[in-house]
Amino acid sequence: MSRAPAFIAPDRKVGETLQEWVYRALRQAIMTGQFKPGHSITIRGAAALLDVSLMPVREALRRLVAERALELQANRRVTVPRMTPDKLEELAGARIALETLAAVRALPRVDAALLETLRALDQEVDEALASGDVSTYLQKNQMFHLTLYRAGDSQVLIPLIESLWLQFGPFMRMVLGKIGASYVLDRHAEALHAIENRDALALRLAIEGDIRDGMGSLTQEELLMAARTDS
């Protein structure tokens, strides 16, 4: 079972069942790229990682396969999906379409307190980029985006966006692990400025630019090579 050495499970929420916590912990690990594309996740391995019995892990893996975050192979092995250049391009387009919509929808609901929270998260993203800390960058970058989008209180967009991050996270983590986080660009400062000015168009362009630049910082050759050798 492939995993990042610094894996830390999220705290269990008050009233959260063990089964839901296991599902959330594994989902978060996939979304932040703590499992590499092409590697298998075993029930026993995940149970040992989270120090739980096999039953809640089995159900969590079943749900993640249904969400297409994981794939069930013909030999019954559960693996993290591999990436192809075409799939990567499609994921980027889908992210831009959904995330720009979610950001604009959230804009009227971003108050001063939330704006300060976003600024603090952006500072943590910048520090992770400066130090080349890939794991922290992925976690804080995800938190920045989803904290903004969730302000829109959408019942439709957020699950779709999270599904895309589930498919994208493992590949991005693997690529950044090879080239380093210092090569990544982000447009969070532009997004924050747009939010402060209540400028929906500027916010849309900043989010789109952030997604494109996050991938554009990788050369096409690097993306193609990583997609072919993600083992």
pLDDT value of position 231: 47
Residues 114 and 62 occupy one common structural domain: no
Q: pTM (2 decimals)?
A: 0.83
Whichever domain contains 63, its CATH number is 1.10.10.10
What is the per-residue pLDDT across 153-196, written as a single tens digit (0 to 9) for each? 988 999 999 999 998 888 877 777 666 666 667 789 999 999 99
Rounded Cα–Cα distance for residues 182 and 213 (Å)? 13
Tell me: do 199 and 95 sit in the same domain.
yes
Say yes or no: 48 and 126 in one domain. no
Q: What CATH number does the domain containing 155 carry? A: 1.20.120.530
Q: 139 and 54 in one domain?
A: no
What is the average pLDDT score of the chain? 86
- How would you classify residue 81: left for phi > 0, otherwise alpha for psi between -120 and 50, otherwise beta? beta
Token pair, residue 85, equals 């250049």
To 10 degrees, the CA torsion angle through 31, 135, 144, 126? -160
Decide if pLDDT at 3 tops 50: no
Measured CA to CA in angstroms, residue 71 lies from 60, 75, 127 at distances of: 13, 11, 34
Contact assessment for residue 173 and residue 138, using Cβ atoms and an 8 Å cutoff: yes
Say if residue 201 is in the same domain as residue 217: yes
Domain containing 61: what range?
18-79
Whether residue 43 contacts residue 58, with contact meaning beta carbons closer than 8 Å, is answered with yes
pLDDT of amino acid 5: 42
Count of domains for the chain:
2
Beta-carbon contacts of 30 under 8 Å, excluding residues fewer than 6 positions away, are 64, 69, 70, 80, 166, 169, 170
